Structure 1
Amino acid sequence: MRIWKYAMASTILGSALVLGACGGGNATQPGETATTEQGTEAEQAEGSVSGDGSSTVAPIMEGIVEEYAAEEPGVQVTVGVSGTGGGFEKFIQGETDFSNASRPIKDEEKASLEEAGIDYTEFLLAYDGLTVVVSKDNDWVEDLTVEDLKKMWIEDGTTKKWSDINPEWPDEEIVFYSPGTDSGTYDYFNEVILEEEDLVSNATLSEDDNVLVQGIQADPNAIGFFGYAYYLANQDTLKAVKIGGVEPNNETIETGEYAPLSRPLFTYASNKALAENEAAYNFMKYTLENAGEMAESVGYVALPEEEYEKGLADLEALKK
């Protein structure tokens, strides 16, 4: 597996990763057989599979799709990045075979899928630590509490200044950057930090995490939040803020010490697609077999191996 860390900055809002339609010069052609390391022959998969959803999950999926393309050139994989909520909307409409999510599926989304007659399986992919960041030019913020975050981010009709949080900090207006309302990261922050209160009305919202990165980089008075991998990819120009004295890193995210902002990442797949579409089944199997290594490579945290084994067992059960 190639080194992917810090390589996701090219993920673009609304674009799709369309990989696998063709392979490299040495790739086995669609319908041909390939020789495995054990010397046996395995027929190459053919077909297409489509997904959409979380921009937080996108770095993992982008790497998996490109590596999969080299192994299975007969399968075209298309993955959009419209946010967790936007991905579920397409999944409910039957437009996609799987939906990437940075939060668990909501009850109303479950109900809509049931109404649409779509059975699905939830697969865990990795752990993430939702990371609160400021510009490297911000030399006053090192640590915030959950109560500080609430005071800053909840809309209360006032103009928020840094000095409101700490009188020793600048008497300058805070500039907010947040994932958009279709983002699972927005939903997660809203649930565990804002407790369903309204987010500040003057925040810049975008489902494209790179837009948030660029805005925060350029303004010492800015603050925002997104997945841990996007912080790692830009740590030369961004500073991660400790939450309650705990900094986000692989250990604190995996153990849950980085609370309440540690969270699992998911993909939800259509049972019908997995049972009837050989390309969808093959791609999901490859995803579960490689998600841990890819997660670590792009800056997230792998699950315990037994979680991936459970996912593979659930997947295999759908084939019977």
Structure 2
Amino acid sequence: MRSKSLFTALALLMLILLLAACGNAEGNSNEESSGNSEGSGDTEGESAESTEVLVDGSSTVFPIMEAVAEEYQKENPEARVNIGVSGSGGGFEKFVAGETHLSNASRPIKKEEKQALKETGIEYTQFEIALDGLSIVVNKENDWVDQLTVDQLNKMWSADGGVTTWSDINEKWPDEKIQFYSPGADSGTFDYFSEVVLGEEGQIRQNASLSEDDNVLVQGVTSSPNAISYFGYAYYAENKDNLRAVPIVNDNGKTVKPSQETVQSGEYPFSRPLFTYVKHSALENESVYNFAKYTLEHAGEMAESVGYVAKPGSAYEDALQKLGEAAGK
């Protein structure tokens, strides 16, 4: 009996030890899973296993990147490219926070944005991917505005310009109240327009309707013959049946309309480069590197397909070399 009791006790002890061991193994498994889950959800998205590429920023650059991403994903069905439209400023905020791999912008990065990236230890390279002609547009029915100068635009859009009606600009124009539609304050287009038209100290008029969505601006102008707005050339080209681009007087006194030729030559006064910024550490991820490389290889072609202007071919060759250096290839 005692032998049988001893055997039972030993068996019970072994069962307890076995269950304890299983419990520890399960606990270790859970801890590893939690760690892996945290890594796979890292906003940096730099795991070599991740195939998702995270892009955000300018609504002006968006049509180019959207076209690039569509073609890239056709050729690489396993790839996932997520493109947001937070505006140039909003895109840089996400870039600084480590939430994106590429940041699109319709104006150069600001000093304070550079400093924020430096403080967070994020290294990056700026790439010019296309050219744009910021277009001043009015309704198709507006047949009185034949041209505008930068000074007239300043008076129209400035908070203290004193302009309410078209006749305030030219007495021969209708005594009708102007409706103003502008990109939002996070937009690089807003920043660019403010700099070249309003000046460093200038403030945009308070009654302007602001939106980060360029399509909303298009709808605003097409819905009223007394409306005016400004946005990238591609959005004008896409809606030119319902909009009219206003010729602008350049520094040489010549009246110039935006076109692919006048934008590339710089003859149009509101010609400007478009950018994407690439995070160096993200290039360790082959998916990010391959997409960035594909972007630079096809940006010119895609830019022209959506209504923008390509840079000279040599510019893209130089950009590809810079990308390879940034990736350590």
TM over 0.5: yes
Deviation at 1:46? Answer: 6.5
- The alpha carbon displacement at 1:159 in A equals 5.2
**Partners of 2:107 and 2:274 within 8 A in 1:** yes
Q: Kindly indicate whether the alpha-carbon contact (under 8 Å) linking 1:46 and 1:75 is maintained by their aligned counterparts in 2.
A: no
Q: Distance between the aligned counterparts of 2:162 and 2:150, measured in 1?
A: 19
Among 219, 226, 240, the residue aligned to 2:245: 240
Superposition RMSD on alpha carbons, in Å? 1.1
Matches within 5 A, 1:146-161: 146-156=150-160, 158=162, 160-161=164-165
Structure 1 residues 237 and 88 mapped into 2: Cα distance closer, same or farther (>3 Å)?
A: same
Match of 1:314 in 2: 322
Query: Distance between the aligned counterparts of 2:180 and 2:212, measured in 1?
Result: 14
Q: How many residues are aligned here?
A: 274
Question: Is the Cα contact below 8 Å between 2:87 and 2:186 reproduced in 1?
Answer: yes
1:285 has 2:289 as partner: no
Query: What are the Cα deviations for residues 130-187 of structure 1, in whole angstroms up to 9, with x where unaligned?
Result: 0000000111112000111001000117451100100000111111000000000000
Q: Deviation per CA, 1:1-58, whole angstroms, max 9, x where unpaired?
A: xxxxxxxxxxxxxxxxxxxxxxxxxxxxxxxxxxxxxxxxxxxx97111010000001
5+ residue gaps, structure 1, are 1-44
Alignment of 1:63-82 (within 5 A): 63-82=67-86
Give runs of aligned pairs for residues 217-296 of structure 1, distance below 5 A: 217-244=222-249, 245-259=255-269, 261-274=270-283, 276-296=284-304
Go from structure 1 to structure 2 and tell me whether the alpha carbon gap of 1:207 and 1:129 turns closer, same or farther (over 3 Å shift): same
Q: Distance in 2 between matches of 1:159 and 1:144?
A: 14
Matched with 1:300 is: 308
Aligned residue number for residue 126 of structure 1: 130
Check the 8 A contact 2:104/2:276 in 1, yes or no.
Answer: yes
SS in 2 for 1:186: helix
Q: How does 1:168-187 map to 2 (within 5 A)?
A: 168-187=172-191
Equivalent position amino acid for 2:230 in 1: F
Q: Deviations over 1:88-130 (max 9, x none)?
A: 0000000000100000000010000000110000011100000
Partner AA of 2:272 in structure 1: R
2:110 pairs, out of 106, 112, 116, with: 106
Q: Compared with structure 1, are the counterparts of its residues 110 and 46 closer, same or farther at alpha carbon in structure 2 (3 Å cutoff)?
A: closer
Give the Cα separation in 1 of the matches to 2:299 and 2:162.
44
State which structure, 1 or 2, has the greater radius of gyration over its C-alpha atoms.
Answer: 2
Match in the other structure for 2:32: none
- Equivalent AA in structure 1 for residue 85 of structure 2: V
Q: Which has the higher helix share?
A: 2
Offset of residue 74 of structure 1:
1.6
Residue equivalent to 2:169 = 165
Query: Equivalent residue of 1:181, what SS?
Result: coil
Secondary structure in 2 aligned to 1:155? coil
Tell me how far 1:318 sits from its aligned partner.
Answer: 2.1
Identity of aligned residues (%): 61
Flag the 1:265–1:157 CA change in 2: closer, same or farther, 3 A: closer
Q: Distance in 2 between matches of 1:302 and 1:60?
A: 11
Give the strand-richer structure, 1 or 2: 1
Q: Distance in 2 between matches of 1:267 and 1:114?
A: 18
> Does residue 218 of structure 2 align to residue 213 of structure 1?
yes
SS in 1 for 2:261: helix
Structure 1 counterpart SS, 2:112: helix
SS in 1 for 2:256: coil
**Deviation sequence 1:175-234 (CA, Å, 0-9, x none):** 100000000000000001100300010000001000000000010110000000000000
Structure 1 position 75, deviation (Å): 1.5
**Runs of at least 4 residues of structure 1 off by over 3 A?**
none
